[in-house]
Every structure is written in C-alpha cells, then in structure tokens.
Amino acid sequence: MRLNEAVDPWHVFAVWYDEGVAHEPDVPNAMQLATVGPDGRPSLRTVLLKGYDPEGLVFYTNLNSRKSRELSANPNVAITFHHKSLERQIHVEGTAQPVSDAEADAYFATRPRGSQLGAWASQQGQAMRSRETLEHALAAMAAQFERQDVARPPHWGGWRVVPSTFEFWQGRADRLHDRVTFVRDGQGWRRLLLQP
C-alpha cells in the first residue's frame, strides 16, 4: 500500500495496526491518550485499544478516573500509537463518547477474573493509606463473588473515540519522513501530504 496515494484512513489504520500487532514486540495496542482538565491543563497516559471499527477506537477504564472525568467535561482527545520497530506513528484527534452498557458488559465478560475483581476493588487514581488497603478490598470482592460470575461494576465502562483527523507518520532516511493527514470533510475525508 502506498501511503501517499491512500484515500481511506480507516483502511490505512487497519493495515498499519495489523502490521504493528504482527511486528511490534511490546504491547502493540498501547496508545497515548491526551485529555484536557477543567483548568485547561493537558493530561497524558497510556491506555489499550480494545476494538475499532468505522465508528471509532474503543478503550475501557474506571468511569470515576481522572481521564473519564475529563472526558465527561471535555470530550476532545488526541491519541498516538508508536510502533517503534516499524518506524511508524498513528496520531488521531477526535471526540470521545461512552460506549453502550451492552458493549461494556460484553467486553467485561472476556476479561480475566482477577481483572474483573480488580475493577471492583480499585478506586482508580484515589489516594490510599497502604497497598494493604487495595489487597483487603480485592479479598472482599473475591469473597463476595465466590462461585459466581463477576458482574461489571457500574463505575467501569468504555469510551469510543470518533476521529476527526488521522495522521500517519512513516520514518525515512535523512528525516525525510512520510506524513499524510486525513481530515473529516462532511461524510468523507480530505487527504493532505505534509512536509516532514
């Protein structure tokens, strides 16, 4: 696929993402997620892509976390994937919206039991006195759900990032990299070739 001739950013994303999964040795679905707080200050962290389709890119988290609170107040986000082994970056800008309860339930059911219990036990991002606080909460959840399926906590769900811009960056010799941006234009996309 010739990046400079591509017309559909979702096709490029799918090809590049699949190649990243095949070649990147460490967590190829890791993406940097930038949000903005009520004070206008940016915040950046790594989350894991758990699914994508033409509607958007999906990740899951604690809905009381800082990122979720910021997304609820200001849905504008930026995401970057870096596949170092392929000398590639995919940058996405767009808006985040909550996934449906049905989607969150379906994904939660696929998580390892320990992760399911951890979602109940952890008050993500909140201060605690000691590690034992978390371990006691985890033990309590394990006892509560002993011999039964772990239901999804009401404070745990997902976000779908609906892209308005894609940028694909391919490293080249002498810093003459390929950069192609796709900007949402009505129902389609406008392609721009950028200088490196």
Kindly name the residue from 2, 66, 175, 191 that is annotated as catalytic: 175
For 54: left if phi > 0, alpha if psi spans -120 to 50, otherwise beta; the answer is alpha
Q: Which two tokens stand for residue 139?
A: 């033990």
The tokens of 83 are what? Answer: 């596949």
Query: Which residues lie across from 83 on neighbouring strands?
Result: 88
Q: Is the Cβ–Cβ distance between 88 and 28 less than 8 Å?
A: no
88 among known catalytic residues: no
Contact indicator for 36, 74 with CB cutoff of 8 Å:
yes
Q: What type of residue is 172? A: R
Q: What's the CA gap between 165 and 183, in Å, rounded?
A: 5
Q: Write the DSSP symbol of residue 67.
A: H
Of the candidates 37, 194, 51, the one whose C-alpha atom is nearest the C-alpha of residue 110 is 51
Q: Which two tokens stand for residue 111?
A: 């998580």
Q: Give catalytic residue positions.
A: 175
